[in-house]
Structure formats: C-alpha cells, structure tokens
C-alpha cells in the first residue's frame, strides 16, 4: 500500500529510500583503550543495528571538530586521521548491511561552554577536573552554563579557527565515505551559544544584532558547503526555541533557516532547547513537529521533525500532511532497533529484510 513515510526523497544527488531516519545520539563510549575520540565496536554495533532494522538514513552522534569541542572525554571526534579511519569502517558496514539502501551522515559539532563534562552514566557530574582529563572550555563570553565551570570568551582568531576546524572535519567526512554532513547548531552547543541572546553578549561582529549572533553559524555553513561536493546534501540542526524568555524564538529560527537555505543547506533538522538550564519545555508526543512545520512553511526549506515521535501512525501523519519532509527518531530507535520493519508492517507497506532475518518476516502478525 502507498505510504508517505516510506516514499523516497532526493536531496541533491542523494536518494534516500524513505523518510524514517535516526537522530544523532551521543554514546559516550570512546575509551582510552581505543584512542581519544575514536569510535569503536560499540558504535559499529549501535549504528549497524539500525541499518539492519530498516532505517533509511542515520546520523552519527556529535563528532567534535577539535579536542576542546567534545562534550565529554568519552565523545567521538573527527579531527584526526585515526578517527576518520574508524568512521570509514562504520560507514562501509552500514552501506554493506542495510535492509534498504541505507545512507549515513556525520553530525559535526563543537560543545563550547557545555564541553569537558562527565558523561551521563559516570559516577559524578558537572565539569571534569583538569587532573581527571578535563580542559578549559570556550564560548561567546565567560558566562557559564548553570552548574558548569566558566568558559573563556573566544578571540577573533579562535572563532576563525573553529570555522576552519569545521571545514577540515567536513573534508575528512567526505574522504571517509559519508553520504551527508549535518552541522550541529542546536541544544546549547557552540553555534547555538553564539545565536542565543541569552548567552551571546558580545558587541563585535560576532554578537550584538541578530545578524551578528547568527554570523558564526552561517559562516560555518559557508565553510562546510565550500568543502563538500556540490552533489552532497548539507543538513543543519537548530533549536527552534530556547524555551526561555528573551531567547531564540521560532520566528528568529525561520529567519536563520531561510538564510542557511540560501547558502546551500538542503534540510533543516528542527529540534529545540538546551541553551540554558532554566528552560521550561512542554514535552508531549510530537511537541516539536509544529516547529518543523513552521520553518518548512515560512522559510521555504525542507525540514525534519524530531521529539517524542514513536508510533508509525504518528510519523506517517506528519509526513503525509506535509508538516515535515522526514522524521528523526532517537529513543524509539533505542527501544526497538528494527522500528522501521515494524512500522512498514503496521502501515501495510513492504520493505526488504536482510537475508539473515528473512525467517522472521511476519505472516500472521508482527
């Protein structure tokens, strides 16, 4: 039967088999044994399971563009040749073992003032001490994220260095065989920190007006777009709202998305929040889909919806009614790495199963 969710989509020269995608999900699993920021067998298993489960596109966890850009000492990176080689192995695995013609993209990120923190399942929280492998973080100002150590305000030279690091990481992503690149401009990390008036109090060209506060994000877009092939789609994740008075709102995000699209962004991955700890999020099923719908409509750019999207009927409705062009899943995918096989069955649509799982294809109920 026809299904909007399981309709292919083309972004530049990339054909993605359907609209059910995997959100970036930090695993905090890079260990000293395998090397700083180097993805390992855990990442291969984690992402590979979604490929076998029928996902059409997956984005890796945030891969830092330099060592200081990691959220924690256990975060992945894409700033060394060793990291790039490890990612290349995972890209090859996903391409080889997908149930459908699965694609994979890397999310490039810099944590800014939210870096050098302990991972969620560590036995402590907050900023990592220097004698425990931590580092001094940076941001638009020296204003800390609540509960974390203060960052150092970035100089003009440091800002330009980060732009160059994004471009270099994007070049490594192309060489590693990734199908697409996403720039992480959301969740209170560095690019979002510069965008948000709650954090960015600079008075130079990187702050002040909305144009100044958006400058770093759009400069990174330009730098990455210049490095990757014209045939490769570029994605941008944004936080549509800060969920806090005086912060980024949806109208500002529409203007940002429109400017990003003019610079070569092909799809905006619309999330929200993360800038400040005192945010007040009203989380209900599909609570961010309306943001994706508004950005799509008012900025004239393709969007992906994310946020408590769990059921096949719910995601089918979002795509079928044009509220977003694709849906990203995270927790639902963790609970069921074969979510897409089940969704296709429930929607009455057939997608391929990997040969090793053929005996499990449902005949009389899933």
- Report whether 291 contacts 250 (CB < 8 A): yes
Strand 152-153 to strand 180-185: parallel, antiparallel, or no bridges (unpaired)?
A: unpaired
CB atoms within 10 A of CB 293: 18
DSSP per position, 83-106:
HHHHHHHHHHHHHHH-SS--EEEE
Q: What DSSP state is assigned to residue 127?
A: B
Q: Which residues contact 246 (CB under 8 A, 6 or more apart)?
A: 197, 198
Give the rounded distance of the alpha carbon of 67 from its chain centre: 18
Give the whole-angstrom CA distance, residue 69 versus residue 64.
5
- Report whether 257 contacts 299 (CB < 8 A): yes
DSSP per position, 212-266:
HHHHHHHHHHHHHHHHS-TTS-EEEEEES--SSTTS--HHHHHHHHHHHHHTT--
Q: Which of the following is catalytic: 28, 79, 189, 287?
A: 189
Strand 302-305 to strand 326-329: parallel, antiparallel, or no bridges (unpaired)?
A: parallel
The answer to whether 118 is a known catalytic residue is no
Q: Which residues contact 211 (CB under 8 A, 6 or more apart)?
A: none
Give the whole-angstrom CA distance, residue 272 versus residue 328.
13
**Closest by Cα among 285, 288, 324 to 304:** 324
- Report whether 165 contacts 66 (CB < 8 A): yes
Enumerate the active-site residues: 189
């Amino acid at each position: 039967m026809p299904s909007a969710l399981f309709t292919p989509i083309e972004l530049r020269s990339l054909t993605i088999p359907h609209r059910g995608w995997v959100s970036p999900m930090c695993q905090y699993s890079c260990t000293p044994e395998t090397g700083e920021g180097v993805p390992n067998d855990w990442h291969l298993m984690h992402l590979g399971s979604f490929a076998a489960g029928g996902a059409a596109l997956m984005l890796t966890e945030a891969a830092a563009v330099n060592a200081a850009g990691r959220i924690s000492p256990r975060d992945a990176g894409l700033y060394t040749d060793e990291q790039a080689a490890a990612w290349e192995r995972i890209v090859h695995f996903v391409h080889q073992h997908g149930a459908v013609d699965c694609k994979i993209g890397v999310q490039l990120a810099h944590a800014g003032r939210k870096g050098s923190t302990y991972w969620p399942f560590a036995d402590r929280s907050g900023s990592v001490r220097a004698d425990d492998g931590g580092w001094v973080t940076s941001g638009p100002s020296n204003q800390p994220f609540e509960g974390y150590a203060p960052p150092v305000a970035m100089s003009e030279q440091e800002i330009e260095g980060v732009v160059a690091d994004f471009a270099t990481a994007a070049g490594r992503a192309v060489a590693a065989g990734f199908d697409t690149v996403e720039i992480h401009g959301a969740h209170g990390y560095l690019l979002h920190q510069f965008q948000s008036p709650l954090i960015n109090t600079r008075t130079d060209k990187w702050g002040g007006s909305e144009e100044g506060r958006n400058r770093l994000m759009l400069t990174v877009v330009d730098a990455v777009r210049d490095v990757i092939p014209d045939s490769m789609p570029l994605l941008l994740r944004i936080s549509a709202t800060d969920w806090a008075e005086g912060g980024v709102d949806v109208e500002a995000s529409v203007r940002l998305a429109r400017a990003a699209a003019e610079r070569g962004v092909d799809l905006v991955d619309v999330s929200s929040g993360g800038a400040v700890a005192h945010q007040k999020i009203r989380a209900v099923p599909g609570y961010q889909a309306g943001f994706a719908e508004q950005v799509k409509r008012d900025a004239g750019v393709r969007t992906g919806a994310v946020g408590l999207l769990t059921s096949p009927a719910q995601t089918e409705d979002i795509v079928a009614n044009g509220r977003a062009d694709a849906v990203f899943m995270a927790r639902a995918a963790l609970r069921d790495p074969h979510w897409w096989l089940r969704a296709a069955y429930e929607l009455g649509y057939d997608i391929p199963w990997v040969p090793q799982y053929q005996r499990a294809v449902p005949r009389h109920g899933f």
